[in-house]
Amino acid sequence: MTEQTQSEPTGTVISADDQRDIRVAMNAVPYAADLRVPIPPRGDLSARDVVAFLEGLRGVLTEVAERADDQHRRLLAMESDVAAFRRLIGTAPAEVTP
């Protein structure tokens, strides 16, 4: 069984107005300035360009989310350490029991 490849569509699939709107949106997205997020050069914008942009953005956002998770875990650990130290030196707030 042989694999068939799809040929590139001919003609403009995305209207000129839509291409302009997509480019504006690409430039406005946070983290799009990262070099791993390819913003296509001027000229016709293809679906492949949009997909490449979204894949690059996905990679950057995945990394940002992982860093945020790591920082959150570190913050929770520090808060726990502070609470333990306050209990140790006797300055912990009184616990309220229902």
Full pLDDT tens readout for the chain, 98 residues: 555 666 555 555 688 888 889 888 988 888 888 888 998 878 888 888 889 999 999 999 999 999 999 999 999 999 999 988 988 888 877 665 66
Residues 36, 60: Cα–Cα separation, whole Å: 7
Residues 98, 93: Cα–Cα separation, whole Å: 16
In a domain, 10, yes or no: no
In a domain, 2, yes or no: no
In a domain, 34, yes or no: yes
Neighbours of 77 (CB within 10 A): 10
Expressed as residue numbers, the domain containing 33 is: 16-89
In a domain, 94, yes or no: no
Question: What is the model's pTM?
Answer: 0.63
How many domains, in total, are found in the chain? Answer: 1
In a domain, 9, yes or no: no
